[in-house]
Structure 1
Amino acid sequence: MAPVYALNLFDVADRDEYLAYSRRSAREVAAHGGRVVALGKFRESVTGEIEPRQVLIVVEWESKEAFDSYRNDPALTDLHPHREDGSSAYIWHLFDKLEDLRPLLKD
């Protein structure tokens, strides 16, 4: 099982709802094999056509299965609605971890 990165881009829609999510999510992410590797606040758009979001979070997961276990854990059904209600324009993309770009640059 290979690690994956989850790219989270979003705007805060309801501060209290997102705080309710964030207070518990770090512990639950870690319990399911994830760790936050980057947090960011939008600064500026340099190039590209994606609509800017206020917040960036990158989480490294031990595997896609670990990510899925976090998303689908029945014990967390009360947690995820706080993320959904506390954010808007959410983008959640998964990327395979690479040691370098050679696999993408092969002929």
Structure 2
Amino acid sequence: MPVYALNLFDIADKDEYLAYARRSVKEVTAHGGKVISLGKFKEAALGEITPRTVMILVEWESEQAFDSYCNDPALADLHPHRENGTQNYIWHLFDKLDDLRPLLK
């Protein structure tokens, strides 16, 4: 079952994040992920979360696909670029729903 990873963060070091970005799309795809949307913060319409500058939404084939990306030893040199290139990172996983009925039961 697909899951969505919502990534919200600020850029802390452009060079570090560029080193991550250069490889990440290829590696995400290789592990069963697809970038659905990229965004730059515009405004807070409602809510109490501290705004982050960047939003990335990734659809993963499954939670196992997401885990394989996060835990692949061949990517041990990649993830530190994301960690060092960003700050205030929020990374939430959401199950895919066709509608909200399961939540409203």
TM over 0.5: yes
Question: Is 1:99 matched with 2:87?
Answer: no
Secondary structure of the residue aligned to 1:50 is: coil
4+ residue runs over 4 A deviation? none
State the shift of 1:16 in Å: 0.4
User: In the alignment, which residue of structure 2 is the partner of 1:21?
Assistant: 20
Which residue identity does 2:17 align to in structure 1?
Y
User: In the alignment, which residue of structure 1 is the partner of 2:31?
Assistant: 32
In the alignment, the residues of structure 2 paired with residue 79 and residue 73 of structure 1 have an alpha-carbon distance, to the nearest angstrom, of: 10
Secondary structure of the residue aligned to 2:44 is: coil
State the shift of 1:66 in Å: 0.2
Matches within 5 A, 1:38-57: 38-57=37-56
TM-score normalised to structure 1 length: 0.97
TM-score normalised to structure 2 length: 0.99
In the alignment, the residues of structure 2 paired with residue 21 and residue 85 of structure 1 have an alpha-carbon distance, to the nearest angstrom, of: 10
Residue ranges of structure 1 left out of the alignment (5+ in a row): none
State the shift of 1:20 in Å: 0.3
Kindly, what percent of the aligned residue pairs are identical? 74
In the alignment, the residues of structure 2 paired with residue 23 and residue 98 of structure 1 have an alpha-carbon distance, to the nearest angstrom, of: 31
Residue ranges of structure 2 left out of the alignment (5+ in a row): none
Question: Is 1:61 matched with 2:60?
Answer: yes
After superposition, the CA RMSD in angstroms is 0.3
